[in-house]
Amino acid sequence: MESVRLGIIGCGVIGQRHLAAAAAWPGISLVAVADLREAVARETAVRFGVGQAYTDADALLADREIEGVVLALPARDRAALALRAFAAGKHVLTEKPVALDAGEVERLIAARGDRVAGCCSSRFRFLPSAAAACDLLASGALGRLRVVRCRAIKPAGPPQAVIPPAWRLSRALNGGGIMSNWGCYDLDYLLGITGWTLEPRTVLAQTWTVPDPFAGQVAPGSDAETHVAALIRCADGVTLTFERGEYVATEAEEAWQIIGDAGALRLRMTPGAGKTLWHDAADAARGVVSRAIWQGDEDYGMTHEGPARDFAAAIREGRQPLTSLEQALVVQRITDAIYRSAESGTAVAVG
């Protein structure tokens, strides 16, 4: 397969991850990088052996050698830039969250044409354990689904020398806080491994900002949520219960589970050493019988390799990436509904 000629816009932490993954894979040729900070753009180009460094994203989009672009910059700027990329004939892979709201995603879909376009919220579905989960669920071993759940809580630690960047908890720059930063991963993962068969209908949710004792650990002026809880009712009576938080005054917990009328799947989305996925099967004679369906070691390098490489392969194979814009729209509509419900204090319809 002829290598795909890519440009990366945004040379921050996540842009560096994309560059490292792309540079190590023969299916991608890195043509150019762009960043508003000229020194960073030039240093990055030298580090990864990229021939061209731009300080203007539109100059990179005008580069005829480039087939596709990865947008690794704050969410506030991505949708408008993606529209210009489509107009320039480029394929587009956006970082997560895909956009600030569902309306922006709908405009991207309308403008995409025959281009390849997707979102990096798929990151954790590139792990080997995710494939094992997909296989079990596709087999029908759990019967009719009842509850899909996620509870991922990170407690506050002692103050750090470096405060995280302001965009992480800025509604204007990022569309939201922990829901936009991590919730999109959780929803993409759970909806993806269940084959995108769930049809979210209504949401009842609540969000909270950083607790007062930990306010000094975030950037001044942070206005986005650090803790979210939601009940999402889907078609056919399936319920998705969701809680994600950081800077929370409790112990750490990570649990993802899918429960049906014939069994359940206990799993963990994030990578780690000695990771195990458990299948709990209903047995009329013995009750519930548990067995490990997958065991192994995973690391975050696997999650960072996946999106850009899949994007390049999708371009050559004439398909959409693992998470298409249509699927990212489902995630964004749920996210929007969570924010609307939290603001109104009532249940709201998805979409």
User: Is 1 a residue whose pLDDT tops 80?
Assistant: no
pLDDT class of 22 with cuts at 50, 70, 90: very high
Tell me: the pLDDT tens digits for 186-217?
Answer: 999 999 999 999 999 999 999 999 999 999 99
User: Is 44 a residue whose pLDDT tops 90?
Assistant: yes
Give me the chain's average pLDDT, please: 96
Tell me: the pLDDT tens digits for 57-100?
Answer: 999 999 999 999 999 998 999 999 999 999 999 999 999 999 99
Can you tell me the distance from the alpha carbon of 340 to that of 338, in angstroms, rounded to the nearest whole number? 6
Tell me: the pLDDT tens digits for 114-168?
Answer: 999 999 999 999 999 999 999 999 999 999 999 999 999 999 999 988 899 898 9
Dig out the tokens for 42 from the structure.
């030039």
Can you tell me the distance from the alpha carbon of 145 to that of 254, in angstroms, rounded to the nearest whole number? 21
Q: DSSP letters of 206-221?
A: EEE---GGGGGGS-TT
| φ/ψ (deg, to 5) at 76 | -55, -35
Domains and CATH numbers, the chain: 4-123+304-322 (3.40.50.720), 124-302+332-349 (3.30.360.10)
Least confident of 46-60, 164-178, 277-291, 303-317: 164-178
The percentage of the chain sitting over the pLDDT mark of 70, rounded to a whole number, equals: 100
CA 221 to mean position of chain CA atoms: 25
Of 324, 303, 308, 326, the C-alpha closest to 72 is 308
* Predicted structure pTM score: 0.95
Can you tell me the distance from the alpha carbon of 252 to that of 225, in angstroms, rounded to the nearest whole number? 18
Across 40-51, average pLDDT: 96
HSE on the CB side for 1, CA within 13 Å? 16
* pLDDT for residue 173: 87
Tell me: the pLDDT tens digits for 267-282?
Answer: 999 999 999 999 999 9
Across 34-46, average pLDDT: 96
Which residues on neighbouring strands pair with residue 240, listed in sequence order? 148, 232
Residue where the block lists tokens 């050493």? 273
Give the CA dihedral 263, 268, 271, 275, nearest 10 degrees. Answer: -60
Pairing of β 4-9 and β 348-349: unpaired
Tell me: the pLDDT tens digits for 230-262?
Answer: 999 999 999 999 999 999 999 999 999 999 999
